Structures are given as structure tokens and as C-alpha cells.
Amino acid sequence: MIFRRALQKEFAQTAAAVFVALFAILISTVLIRLLGQAAGGRVPADAVAALIGFGALAQLPTVLTLTLFIAILVSLSRSYRDSEMVVWFASGVPLTSWIRPVLVFAVPLVIVIGAGSLWLSPWSQLKSAEYRDRLDSRDDTHRVAPGVFR
């Protein structure tokens, strides 16, 4: 019981930290790309926030997949590095008993990743395309970039 709770806590804390880092990288990358497009006049400046949201939702399954992999890898690597594995093995916990806590942690995330890949990501890409089409159909006065003469 102590073994499972310790692993679940370790997986959850590591996954949260990894997710925050990866999501911040994703948001900053999308933000830089969209701000470049907005500065060039291809995307209106007032549409950047909505397009960032759509882009983040579209990439969420990928970020969650990487989060799951890195969290499990880092947690198990830390257990070996800190010699916790030696303690668990000496106390009679076999290596196969690590499978259940990993699966208990991974299966709900895999279900969320699957739902995101099947429904959320396509929906987000569709709405982003619809939003861009709606922006393209607006009159040309909104597309004028400050300081650029055509």
C-alpha cells in the first residue's frame, strides 16, 4: 500500500511539472508564430488569443503523450538513481509489482489522450479553420498593418 501510494504521488508530481513545462513551451511557440503572422498583417491582432487557444487544444494530445512518457521515465530513473529500487527489492517487492502502479497512472491518461486525438484535436482544427475563414472574409480595413504601405 505504501509502495503504490508513493509511486502514484511521484508519478503525479512529475507529470504535473512536465506538463507545465511542455505546455509553456507549446504556448510560447504558437504565440511567437502567430505574433509574427500578426506583425506581417496575415492575421488580425485581435484574433491571436483565439488562435493560440485553438492551436493549444489541437496539440494537447501530443503534449499529454510526452508528459506521460517523460513522467514515468523520470520517476523510475530517479528511483534507481536514489537507490530506492534497492530498498524496494530488499523489502520483497519484485520488479513486476511496478507494472500495476504504472498502469493505474497511465490508463486514465491514455483514455484522455485517445479522446483528445479522436474528438478534441479535429474539433479544434475545424474551428480554427472556420475562424480563419471568417477572418479572411472580413473587410480589408482590419488587415492593415500599422506602418506598412501597400
Chain segment 88-111, per-residue pLDDT in tens: 888 888 888 889 999 999 999 999
Amino acid in position 30: V
Report in angstroms the alpha-carbon separations of 123 from 65, 76, 97, 120.
19, 35, 39, 5
d(CA 15, CA 68): 7
pTM comes to 0.81
Does any domain span residue 148? Answer: no
Helix crossing, 99-115 with 2-39: angle to 10°? Answer: 30
Q: Count of CB atoms within 10 A of residue 10's CB?
A: 20
Which residue is it, cell 493505474? 104
Does any domain span residue 53? Answer: yes
* pLDDT above 80 for 129: yes
Does any domain span residue 146? Answer: no
Task: Report the domain count for the chain.
Answer: 1
